[in-house]
């Protein structure tokens, strides 16, 4: 929670490969290499690396891919895309136009359909540096996944993954998760019991529970084993109800996540080892970095992510962003610093937080801009001011949620608790009893339930 603020030789013959075949290239040519990063029954994620093999700097590049009938480019990132018939043209996003001698850049796209490119050119010549476009091989059909069984979010969607800028289910369908965040477990553990979690799953029809484990403020650092056990217990409770569990390493003060690097490595090693076989776990490795550079956040992420990956190679991992996870906006920046220097890891997303009464059109504009090239997850937001209190602003909240719905950005609301603040979903004192029905909801809780309980797009 916030306590702030200032308001390419294209290897088309190897159509199903995940790495391109090495080709002997002529000297002094620009090349582009196409690979398939992942595939599913009705599409795949393509990646193209553009390399300047000349001895001079080039100021721009243009890659053209022709796709067979029945296959289209759904979205792309780190590039500007246009289409003419079945030929798709990809040019720089802006920041990646200039390539020094020997330098490279890459972009990606999501394809609807199984067909791989039948031809590829870069700056007007074949992607392998020759003057004749390569001959295509017939496309292969990627393996299909078994249809889901069950009706819960986890039963329907299975193991999630990042595909392009979207969160996708096990069949490659872009989805949006909607749910609630706990408050600090050291203060509101009594709010997370059988009745309240049944209400979240069955009455609210939520998709996820964000488990906010504060590190400071009487949290993890005071009893690592106890808080780790508490988190694992809530993961199990979410799993038993078919909910996704978002494990939040809730750092806020100090704002530099590197202060807690050793603790993060210990905690995430333990929870990822214990929960590696579960399909419902998502890891949020730092809550709201503040007063720290993006380079510092990136360094932290690139040290913590391998700890998780050693145990759990498949789970989605979410990285906090600068300025209390505002993509840098709350500290005078923007998402360009991330797109220019992304975390060196796969299957990751970037966190964005907002409080609807405080963060208005300029924040929304940045989210819309960033979502074109970055996979975003709103792991925390409030209907009120950044303090967690004040007047509930349903108009701004509605505008925000309409935007997130349109962009298919998942979200968790702060907070599923009876805290004495207007952001709480329940009236003060609710968690002393056993009734978690609509009759004990606050203004904020009533509105959020009405949004979350509408049908999912699964």
Helix locations, 388-442, DSSP H = 394-407
Measured in whole angstroms, the distance separating CA 139 from the mean position of its chain's CA atoms is: 30
437 with 156: CB under 8 angstroms? Answer: no
The first and second tokens of residue 106, run together, are 């890459």
Collect all residues with Cβ–Cβ distance below 8 Å to 309 and sequence separation of at least 6: 345
Element of type H or E holding 186: helix 185-188
- What is the chain's alpha carbon radius of gyration, rounded to the nearest angstrom? 23
44 with 38: CB under 8 angstroms? Answer: yes
Collect all residues with Cβ–Cβ distance below 8 Å to 58 and sequence separation of at least 6: 30, 52, 98, 99, 123
Give me the catalytic one of 239, 270, 288, 331: 288
Length reported for the chain: 458
Give me the catalytic one of 30, 239, 284, 380: 380
Going edge to edge, which strands form the sheet with 104-112? 30-40, 43-52, 104-112, 72-77
288 among known catalytic residues: yes
Q: Is 432 helix (H, G, I), strand (E, B) or coil?
A: helix
Q: How far apart are CA 389 and CA 365, in angstroms?
A: 24
337 among known catalytic residues: no
139 with 116: CB under 8 angstroms? Answer: yes
Of the candidates 396, 392, 402, 400, the residue with the CA atom closest to the CA atom of residue 454? 402
Positions marked catalytic = 288, 380
């Amino acid at each position: 929670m916030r306590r702030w603020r200032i308001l390419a030789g294209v290897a088309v013959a190897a159509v199903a490969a995940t790495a391109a075949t090495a080709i002997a290239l002529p000297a002094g040519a620009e090349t582009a290499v196409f690979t398939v990063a992942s595939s599913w029954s009705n599409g795949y994620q393509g990646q193209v690396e553009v390399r300047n093999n000349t001895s001079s700097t080039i100021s721009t590049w243009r890659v053209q891919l022709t796709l067979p009938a029945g296959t289209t480019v759904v979205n792309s990132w780190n590039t500007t895309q246009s289409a003419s018939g079945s030929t798709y043209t990809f040019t720089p996003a802006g920041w990646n136009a200039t390539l020094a001698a020997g330098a490279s850049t890459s972009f990606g796209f999501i394809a609807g359909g199984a067909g791989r490119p039948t031809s590829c050119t870069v700056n007007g010549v074949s992607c392998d540096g020759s003057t004749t476009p390569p001959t295509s091989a017939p496309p292969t059909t990627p393996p299909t996944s078994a249809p889901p069984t069950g009706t819960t979010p986890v039963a329907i969607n299975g193991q999630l993954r990042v595909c392009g800028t979207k969160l996708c289910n096990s069949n490659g369908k872009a989805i949006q998760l909607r749910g609630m965040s706990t408050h600090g477990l050291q203060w509101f553990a009594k709010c997370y019991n059988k009745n309240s979690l049944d209400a979240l799953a069955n009455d609210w029809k939520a998709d996820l529970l964000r488990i906010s484990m504060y590190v400071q403020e009487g949290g993890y650092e005071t009893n690592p084993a106890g808080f780790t056990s508490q988190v694992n217990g809530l993961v199990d409770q979410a799993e038993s109800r078919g909910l996704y569990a978002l494990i939040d390493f809730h750092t806020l003060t100090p704002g530099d996540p590197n202060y807690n690097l050793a603790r993060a490595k210990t905690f995430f090693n333990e929870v990822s080892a214990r929960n590696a076989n579960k399909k419902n776990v998502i890891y949020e490795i730092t809550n709201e970095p503040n007063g720290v550079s993006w380079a510092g956040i990136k360094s932290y992420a690139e040290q913590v992510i391998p700890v998780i990956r050693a145990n759990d190679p498949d789970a989605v991992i979410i990285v906090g962003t600068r300025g209390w996870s505002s993509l840098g906006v709350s500290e005078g920046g923007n998402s360009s610093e991330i797109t220019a220097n992304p975390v060196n890891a796969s299957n990751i997303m970037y966190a964005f937080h907002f409080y609807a009464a405080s963060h208005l059109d300029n924040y929304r504009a940045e989210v819309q801009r960033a979502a074109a090239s970055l996979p975003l997850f709103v792991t925390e937001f409030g209907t009120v001011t950044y303090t967690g209190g004040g007047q509930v602003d349903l108009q701004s909240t509605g505008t925000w949620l309409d935007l997130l719905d349109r962009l298919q950005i998942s979200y968790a609301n702060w907070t599923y608790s009876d805290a004495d603040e207007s952001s709480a979903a329940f009236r003060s004192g609710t968690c002393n009893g056993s009734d978690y029905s609509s009759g004990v909801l606050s203004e904020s809780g009533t509105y959020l339930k009405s949004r979350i309980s509408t049908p999912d797009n699964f």
